[in-house]
Amino acid sequence: MNKPTRRTSKSTSDEPAHEAWFSIRVDLVEGRGEHCWPRPGRLIAAAPRHSFAQLASAIDRAFARWDISHLHQFELADGTKIGRPDPDFDEEILDERRERLSQLHPSEQFVYVFDFGDYWAHLCTVAQESVDPLAVLGLVPREPLPYFGWGSIPDQYGRAWDEDDSSSPPPPDPELRDLPPLQPGWGATSAGRLGRTPGLETRTAAVLIL
């Protein structure tokens, strides 16, 4: 097997906190055999010293994935693949824990795929302008973090409720009656009154009788 070609990184060591950070736009394009439209997305602030492994973790958190045991992989425009090398597979892939984001360039686009079965595919676009993490996040984090987003994030397994088996109808809406009375309108005695004008039902009934 030929050793994968390593793209040249500017640096693999820690860089100062005042360095220019990338703004990476991540659009969720497809998953579970369906195209997403409108496409939900996130803007992620990431430093050149961060690894692709750290970027993958940030993307998965930003898209609300809780089962992160699945394989994932980046693919750059030149065909370079970055992920977790597996000795059982004869595939050229660079180690995401060693590859740094410093090899990225403004306007560069690449793909991130999470879970090769459900195939959640994202288009990642490096912005032309860098960002100041203090300005967009209020701090200089140790790892990449999202700072803006839009769209409804689909559930990782397509579940709409905790016991969704993909064939049963959704349970009836308890209208807050199943909740403990820890907020106004919660609980069996007050649920169902939210949004109703006190006495409205009585006045309506009186009008009908007249």
Q: What is the pLDDT of residues 98-133, one digit of tens each?
A: 999 999 999 999 999 999 999 999 999 999 999 999
Q: How large is the average pLDDT for residues 30-48?
A: 97
Confidence of residue 166 (pLDDT cuts 50, 70, 90): confident
Confidence of residue 88 (pLDDT cuts 50, 70, 90): confident
Burial of residue 100, with CB atoms counted within 10 A of its CB: 0-12 exposed, 13-18 middle, 19 or more buried? buried
CB neighbourhood size of 113 (10 A): 20
Confidence of residue 90 (pLDDT cuts 50, 70, 90): low
CB neighbourhood size of 26 (10 A): 23
Higher pLDDT, 68 or 204: 68
pLDDT of residue 5: 52
pLDDT of residue 18: 66
pLDDT exceeds cutoff 60 at 199: no
The tokens for 53 are 């492994």
CB neighbourhood size of 131 (10 A): 19
Q: How large is the average pLDDT for residues 186-196?
A: 63
Instruction: From residue 10, give the alpha-carbon distance in Å to each of 61, 101, 120, 178, 198.
Output: 27, 9, 30, 56, 67
Q: Phi first, then psi: give them for residue 208, nearest 5 degrees.
A: -65, -35
Helix (H, G, I), strand (E, B) or coil at 54: helix
pLDDT of residue 190: 57
Confidence of residue 158 (pLDDT cuts 50, 70, 90): confident
Q: What is the pLDDT of residues 135-149, one digit of tens each?
A: 999 999 999 999 999
Instruction: From residue 64, give the alpha-carbon distance in Å to each of 18, 57, 58.
Output: 29, 11, 10
Share of the chain above pLDDT 70, in %: 81
Q: Which amino acid is at 57?
A: S
Residue in 115, 27, 116 with CA at minimum distance from that of residue 68: 115
Q: What is the pTM of this model?
A: 0.78
Q: Which residues contact 106 (CB under 8 A, 6 or more apart)?
A: 126, 127, 128, 129
CA atoms of 26 and 35, how far apart (whole Å)? 15
